[in-house]
Every structure is written in structure tokens, then in C-alpha cells.
Amino acid sequence: MKANENNIPARTPLIETRDLKKYFKVNGGRMLHAVDSINLKLYSGETLGVVGESGCGKSTLGRTLLKLIEPTGGQILYDGQDITKLNTRKMRPLRKEMQIIFQDPYSCIDPRKSVVDTISEYMQIHKVFPNHQQTMNRAIELMDLVGLARRYANSYPHELDGGRRQRIGIARALSLNPRFIVCDEPVSALDVSIQAQILNLLMDLQDELDLAYMFVTHDLSVVKHISNHIMVMYLGTCVELAESEELFRNPLHPYTKALLAAIPEPNLDSRDKEFQIIRGEVSSPIDPKPGCRFAARCEHCMPQCTQENPKFTETSPGHYTACFLVNGNNPGGQTSDTGGETGGR
Ligand SMILES: Nc1ncnc2c1ncn2[C@@H]1O[C@H](COP(=O)(O)OP(=O)(O)OP(=O)(O)O)[C@@H](O)[C@H]1O
Ligand SMILES: [Mg+2]
């Protein structure tokens, strides 16, 4: 552990990426750049919100971090250990510590399994307990932990509403005592009132279990209160990263500003506020040409923006942007020298 200038030992990030890339081969040998040069750090007990519109690479980033798919380039560090090249066997013990919760729990739940059997599934696969009774007891404890009444233990997923089904997904994700959870749009399919309950549950569990979350959503208003830091993605790249409050108070990238302007305002006085519409076509993520990927839709686009990649730069302490308008004439390869710091340390 390194010490900073005040001799306080710096914490090791639980998850860190350096120049992480995930490209998919598509027709004609061309490459779809789903995740391009992402630098982030995430600490235990903290949440990194990842926002951006559909197809910008949020889920691919989450799946790559968990090594459910292999990265094309760059590095992933877990608790200081480089796991980029670990094979399946070496990843196995770490798999327990890294989990994912999906938008639609139905897609990853066997409809023929009861609630308690679903929750115990991973414990059985990993043979966590020597006998069935102990596994069942732990499953019931997990039901208590996520606020699922015990009377549902022998119910089937289709008998429950969306919120309760999501609680099953959360209980199962917690069953192996993880330290890091990718929450991939876990409340997007739920009614607003249920959304708040699930978000509160996730925050309570984080406090209790010191969990690190990467919380993926296309809805900035959802992550505002639960994230320590927010990363805004556009077509595979990170265009802005800052502490949550700072991002909302002082958005710098034109894309972030447009996303924030699009959040519906509950305040009646501001109902006349004009929505800032993001115009133009989304560029293709397949073999992208050099230049800012938002350039085609940016009302501030300058000649340089279509010729060079803006460098991911620390614009003010802890606040990073990749934009020529914000950072001046500062070309680069979409990489940061310092790395996106999500811990503010
Ligand atoms: N297995 C794959 N093969 C080829 N392309 C893929 C694959 N998985 C994802 N992609 C592409 O990668 C890009 C990023 O997709 P991804 O699902 O990560 O986006 P997302 O931000 O999670 O979108 P959404 O909000 O719709 O869930 C998209 O262009 C998608 O079509
Ligand atoms: Mg997704």
C-alpha cells in the first residue's frame, strides 16, 4: 500500500481498469468498438454510476469487468491483482466475489425453481455448505436480508411481482458473499414506487456489507443519490467522470449537459423549460474514425473535434472530461494519464 504526501496509506481500489477495451468482430472482419479505453477506479463501499444511452457499451463494460467476456486490450485489476489474463480455473475463487444483478430477473431465473431453490442455486454449485439443510437455512436468512417474507419461500417467480422477483435476484447475488456487484439496470423495469424500495435496499446492503457497486442505467436521475461518482459513456468511450454532486452541479461535456437537460423537472415553475434535444445521427461504433464520437451531434463541434481524439483530462480536481471545448487544444488517444479516480483520494 502506497502512502500519500501526508503519510496516510492510500486504499487499494477494489476494481481498477487501465485503458480497457472490448471490441467485437462483425461482418467483413470489421471491429465494433463497444468499450474503448476506459480508466476507472472503484473502492469498497462505494458506487460508480455508469450512464449513457442504449448501445453505448454499459453492459459490455460490466460484463468485461467481471470477465464474463474477455477484454480486447488494457487491464483489469481486482483488489490490486491483475486479473486480465486469468484463465477460468484461476478466476473461479474470484467469481464468488464478483456478481451481477440484471434488469429482468426473469431472464436469469429458472421459472421451474421455487424462490428458496433459486436463491440457493449458486451455493449449491459452489458447494458452500456440506448439507442441504444448511444451504436452505442460509437461503432463508438471505430472504430476510432482502426483505422477502418467508411465506414466499416455496412460491414460484411468476407468482411474485417485479419488485419481489428483483429481491430474489439480489438475494442470489449475495449468496456467495460478494464484494463487487454490477447492477445492470436493476430498477429500469419496475414501477417508480418499487424502484425506490429496491434502491434503498441496495444502499442498506452496501452499508451493511461494504459492497462496491457499478450501477448501470440510462437514467441519470436514478443514479444521482446512490452514486459516489458518475461516469458518462458515449459510444464506448467515457466522456465525463466526476463526483455525483459535482457532475450535477457543474456538467462540462456537451453530451452530459444534454442528458441532464432531458431529465423531467418536477418543479411546476420550470415546466416551461425548453428541452435540449440531442440532434443528429449517432455515429457508428464500427471501426470509428479518429475524432470525438459525439462530434456529429454536438452543437459546439469544431474542425479539430472531427480529426483528433480528445484526451480524457482532469479538468478540475477529480473531474475528468474528454472534450476540446472544455480542455482546449489537448489531443490524445482517449486515455487519461492519471486514470479516472472514483475515490477522490
Ligand atoms: N456479442 C456481441 N457481438 C457484437 N456486438 C455486440 C455484442 N454485445 C454487444 N454488442 C454491441 O456493443 C455495443 C454496446 O452494447 P451494450 O449492450 O454494451 O450497450 P448498453 O449501453 O448496455 O445498451 P442498453 O442500454 O440498450 O442495454 C452495441 O453496439 C451492441 O450492438
Ligand atoms: Mg445494457
**How close is the Cα of 56 to the center of ligand 2, in Å?**
8
Which residue is closest in CA terms to ligand 1's atom 2?
A: 24
Whether 251 is in the pocket of ligand 1, judged by its Cβ within 6 Å, is no
277 closest CA partner among 253, 247, 249, 257? 257
pLDDT value for 337: 41
Cα of 214 from ligand 2 centre, angstroms: 13
Confidence band, pLDDT 50/70/90 cuts, at residue 75: very high
Give the model's pLDDT for residue 17: 98
Do 37 and 74 meet the contact criterion of CB atoms below 8 Å apart?
A: yes
**Spatial contact of 20 and 38, defined as CB atoms under 8 Å apart:** yes
Q: What number does the ligand 1 atom closest to the CA of 62 have?
A: 18
Residue 330 has a pLDDT of 59
Closest residue by Cα to atom 20, ligand 1, is: 55
Whether residue 318 has its Cβ less than 6 Å from ligand 1 = no
SS3 per residue for the chain: CCECCCCCECCCCCEEEEEEEEEEEEHHHEEEEEEEEEEEEECCCCEEEEECCCCCCHHHHHHHHCCCCCCCEEEEEECCEECCCCCHHHHHHHHCCEEEECCCHHHHCCCCCCHHHHHHHHHHHCCCCCCHHHHHHHHHHHHHHCCCCHHHCCCCHHHCCHHHHHHHHHHHHHCCCCCEEEEECCCCCCCHHHHHHHHHHHHHHHHHHCCEEEEEECCHHHHCCCCCEEEEEECCEEEEEEEHHHHHHCCCCHHHHHHHHCCCCCCHHHCCCCCCCCCCCCCCCECCCCCCCCHHHCCCCCHHHHCCCECCEEEECCEEECCHHHHCCCECCCCCCCCCCCCCC
Average pLDDT over residues 3-16: 78
Question: 252-277: per-residue pLDDT in tens?
Answer: 999 999 999 887 766 655 555 555 56
Q: Ligand 1 mean position to 81 CA, how many Å? A: 27
Q: From ligand 1's centre to the CA of 306, what distance in Å?
A: 24
Check pocket membership of 170 for ligand 1, CB cut-off 6 A.
Answer: no
Q: How far away, in angstroms, is 24 Cα from ligand 1 center?
A: 9
Mean pLDDT of the chain: 89
Task: Look up cell 436452505; give the residue.
Answer: 136
Ligand 1: nearest atom to the Cα of 25: 4
Q: Which residue has the higher pLDDT, 4 or 21?
A: 21
Confidence label for 192 from pLDDT (cuts 50, 70 and 90): confident
Q: Could you tell me the three cell numbers for 106?
A: 426473469
Instruction: Provide the pLDDT for residue 144.
Output: 96
Q: Which ligand is nearest to the CA of 219?
A: 1
In this predicted structure, what is the pLDDT of residue 338?
38
Pocket test for ligand 1, best of 21, 32, 53, 222 (most atoms within 8 A of CB): 32
Q: Name the closest ligand to CA 53.
A: 1
* Percent of the chain whose predicted confidence (pLDDT) is above 90: 76
Take residue 293 and report the three cell numbers written for it: 464520437
CA of residue 225 to ligand 2 center, whole Å? 21
64 lines ligand 1 (CB under 6 A): no
Q: How far is the CA of 61 from the centre of ligand 1 (A)?
A: 9
Closest residue CA from atom 25 of ligand 1: 54
**Nearest residue (CA) to ligand 1, atom 14:** 57
Q: How far is the CA of 336 from the centre of ligand 1 (A)?
A: 24
- CB of residue 131 inside a 6 A radius of ligand 1: no
- Measured from the CB, is residue 59 less than 6 Å from ligand 1? yes
Mean predicted confidence (pLDDT) in 159-163: 92
Please work out whether the CB of residue 60 comes within 6 Å of at least one atom of ligand 1.
Answer: yes
